Amino acid sequence: MWSSDVQQRGFAIIPGILSRAETVPLLDSLAREPLERTKAGIRHVLTRAGVAQLAQDARLVEIARGVLGDGAFPFHATLFDKSPTANWLVVWHQDTALPIRVRREAAGWGPWSVKNGVTYAHAPASALTQILALRVHLDDSNSGNGPLRVLPGTHTLGVLTDGEIHGLCTTVSAFECVVPEGGVLAMRPLIVHSSSKSEAEAPRRVLHIEYAASKALGDGLELAIA
């Protein structure tokens, strides 16, 4: 069962969630939007109607709630758009930054930053264990177009230093997350992961939607919707 894979390994691949008849209109709507792009894609797309509708889709919510509980809800979304004209690699890392509604100094939180008007803080493991990302693949992901690679089981080790992450890269065998169009990769933010540059001509677009068990993060901090 995919939920036990997420809990034990930190990730699960769930194919066949969306049909091509669903992915194509979503891509078209995002292409028409006057959105500010970075090299990697577009931040803060949860406010867009098509993305918000998908994030609330019963199929995705069921996956999130199967891991986080009945209160799970989407709070953040990013479109990653890897192509020959926008190509990049990502070194081994964990996802530790969360969008915060109001900045409040608290032990274990920080450093802080602001991206496109949204406040972010690097969070402690106690908050990150309440988060699940669903990476909805809008194109086929394969070995040639820079798929995500993960180090299974590393989500249980807490927030790691760069040195600890480097050490794990030499001792834990990486798994390449090849996902077909319409499939979903469910992953914990603390799993150590990376990706290489694409060697393909076709784009590799992924809608990365994050869900949380609760808006309240402890220490008086609350998630922002972004």
CA dist 185 → 64, 132, 177, 218 (Å): 11, 10, 8, 28
Pick from 14-23, 77-86, 107-116, 170-179: least confident:
77-86
- Confidence label for 122 from pLDDT (cuts 50, 70 and 90): very high
Instruction: Say which DSSP state 172 is in.
Output: S
Tell me how far apart the alpha carbons of residues 96 and 137 are, in angstroms, rounded to a whole number: 22
- Confidence label for 78 from pLDDT (cuts 50, 70 and 90): very high
- What are the two backbone dihedrals, phi and then psi, of residue 56, each rounded to the nearest 5 degrees? -95, 0
Domain ranges (residues) in the chain: 2-222
Q: With 80 as the cut, is the pLDDT of residue 36 above it?
A: no
Task: Convert the pLDDT of each residue in 87-96 to its tens digit.
Answer: 778 899 999 9
Nearest one of 42, 99, 77, 43 to 210, comparing CA atoms = 77
What's the whole-number average pLDDT of the chain? Answer: 92
Q: How many CB atoms lie within 10 A of CB 116?
A: 10
Nearest one of 224, 148, 221, 144 to 183, comparing CA atoms = 148
Residue 70 token pair: 């009945």
* Percent with pLDDT over 90 in the chain: 76
Task: Convert the pLDDT of each residue in 183-206 to its tens digit.
Answer: 999 999 999 999 988 887 788 899
CATH code for the structural domain at 2-222: 2.60.120.620
> For position 35, what pLDDT does the model report?
59
